[in-house]
Chains A and B, each alone.
Chain A
Amino acid sequence: MRVRRVDAHDEIVRNEQVAVFVDLHVRVLSHMASALWSLIPPEGIEIDDLTAALVEKFGAPPGASAHQRVQELVEELRLVGLIFF
């Protein structure tokens, strides 16, 4: 599954955390979501590659599947209109 992010009107980073301005709303992303957002290139990225990049950055999540955690996070961002497939 290829993950893409919407075109943000503006985005800004403070202390490795991202806020984006999309559809007249400001969304402040968690540190993990900020990293995920920043790892998505304009052409999109396969979710397996995204998972690998996040595991490399943060390490494997304790007691959970990294793939499942990334899927959940991607779904959260999709529901607020920041990500599409």
Chain B
Amino acid sequence: MPVDRPGAIVCVRSLDTAVRIEISGPRALEYRQQIERAWSACLADPGTDVSVLRVSSNPDDSEADIASDDLDLVMHLLSQEVTLAVIGAQAGQFMMFHAVGLADLETGATAVFVAPSGTGKTTLARSATAFGYVSDETVGIRSDLSVVAHPKPLSILHQGPYKQQLSPVQLGLAPAPSRLHALAFALLRRSDDGPEEPRVELVPTLEALALLAPQASYLARFEQPLHVMADLVEQTGGLRLIHYRSTVDVIPLVRPLLEGSL
């Protein structure tokens, strides 16, 4: 099988982890432009301590992690691969949740909305334009409550077979401040027959742990995962469980959540 040398390189940094994307194949420059555009919120200078992902526009490149002449497919797979790489690199270092992160543009105070796939995380991140975009997929929180952003491209439905990967800038979202701290923790629970007005309940700590655990990455890599999670929950005033029907109903709750009045 033919193997191409990298024709272009894009370096991204997310979840405090650098990833070098080496691009080869006849359309390497076109691929690079698209990757740089979609990952604009994560572009970084080349570093030494990095994971490497090989992308090729040549579908026969057996050495590449992602090889396809379908750029939409490559962008789709690349988003998954980068996310897996950075989460894997930080396993056990700090807590990571499937979550939307929305930050106050002035203070960096961040509301973390934990939610499983398919509950409107991207819609919420895309719609809450008054806040800085931290992530629509994974938010890291250190024990001192500093937040580690993963401002990946947002996956937006469009006419093709794969979701389109658009940067927060392309969607008109503001970048989050560089220093972020977790101020509020919520878990989203959407259902079609949910309340017309969102209902918010404060969850006792142990129940919060049971709700959060399925949405946390690499829990078993921590020596005391329950204690680490409980500290995060209790330091942020407890987990709010938000029952709702439509994602847009959650947006008016972000500011009160950050102000501690919810």
Q: Does B156 contact A (CB under 8 A)?
A: no
Cα–Cα distance between A24 and B213 once the two chains are bound (Å) = 8
Is there contact, CB below 8 Å, between B219 and A17? no
Q: Does A69 contact B (CB under 8 A)?
A: no
Is there contact, CB below 8 Å, between B206 and A12? yes
Which residues of B have CB within 8 Å of A17?
206
Is there contact, CB below 8 Å, between A9 and B225? yes
Is there contact, CB below 8 Å, between A28 and B210? yes
Which residues of B have CB within 8 Å of A27?
210
Name the contact of A10 in the complex, choosing from B206, B207, B210, B226 (C-beta under 8 A). Answer: B226
Name the contact of A12 in the complex, choosing from B207, B219, B230 (C-beta under 8 A). Answer: B230
Give B217-262 interface residues, CB cut-off 8 Å to A: 219-220, 222-227, 230
Q: Does B204 contact A (CB under 8 A)?
A: yes
Which residues of B have CB within 8 Å of A7?
none
Cα–Cα distance between A24 and B221 once the two chains are bound (Å) = 10
Classify the secondary structure of A's interface with B: strand
Is there contact, CB below 8 Å, between A26 and B226? yes
Is there contact, CB below 8 Å, between A28 and B209? yes
Name the contact of A25 in the complex, choosing from B207, B213, B230 (C-beta under 8 A). Answer: B213
Contact (A12, B213) CB under 8 Å given A19-B226, A21-B219 = no
> Using an 8 Å CB-CB cutoff, how does the interface string of B23-62 with A read, 1 for contact, 0 for none?
0000000000000000000000000000000000000000
The range of chain B's interface size is 10 to 19
Is there contact, CB below 8 Å, between B220 and A24? yes
Number of interface residues of A (CB under 8 A): 16
Contact (A26, B220) CB under 8 Å given A11-B226, A14-B205 = no
Which residues of B have CB within 8 Å of A11?
226
> Using an 8 Å CB-CB cutoff, how does the interface string of A20-45 with B read, 1 for contact, 0 for none?
11001111100000000000000000
Q: Measured between C-beta atoms, what is the minimum distance from B86 to chain A in Å?
A: 21
> Using an 8 Å CB-CB cutoff, how does the interface string of B160-176 with A read, 1 for contact, 0 for none?
00000000000000000
> Using an 8 Å CB-CB cutoff, how does the interface string of B185-205 with A read, 1 for contact, 0 for none?
000000000000000000011
Is there contact, CB below 8 Å, between B205 and A10? no
Is there contact, CB below 8 Å, between A12 and B227? yes
Q: Measured between C-beta atoms, what is the minimum distance from B88 to chain A in Å?
A: 16
Is there contact, CB below 8 Å, between A19 and B209? yes
Q: Measured between C-beta atoms, what is the minimum distance from A81 to chain B in Å?
A: 15
Cα–Cα distance between A14 and B208 once the two chains are bound (Å) = 12
Which residues of A approach B to under 8 Å, CB–CB? 9-12, 14-15, 17-21, 24-28
Which residues of B approach A to under 8 Å, CB–CB? 204-207, 209-210, 213, 219-220, 222-227, 230
Given contacts A21-B213, A28-B210, 16 further A-B contacts (CB under 8 A): A10-B224, A10-B225, A12-B206, A12-B226, A14-B204, A14-B205, A14-B206, A14-B230, A15-B204, A18-B206, A19-B206, A19-B209, A19-B210, A26-B209, A26-B213, A26-B226
**Could you give 24 example pairs across A and B, Cβ below 8 Å?**
A9-B220, A10-B222, A10-B223, A10-B225, A10-B226, A10-B227, A12-B206, A12-B209, A12-B226, A14-B205, A15-B204, A17-B206, A19-B206, A19-B210, A19-B226, A20-B226, A21-B219, A21-B225, A21-B226, A25-B213, A26-B209, A26-B213, A26-B226, A27-B210
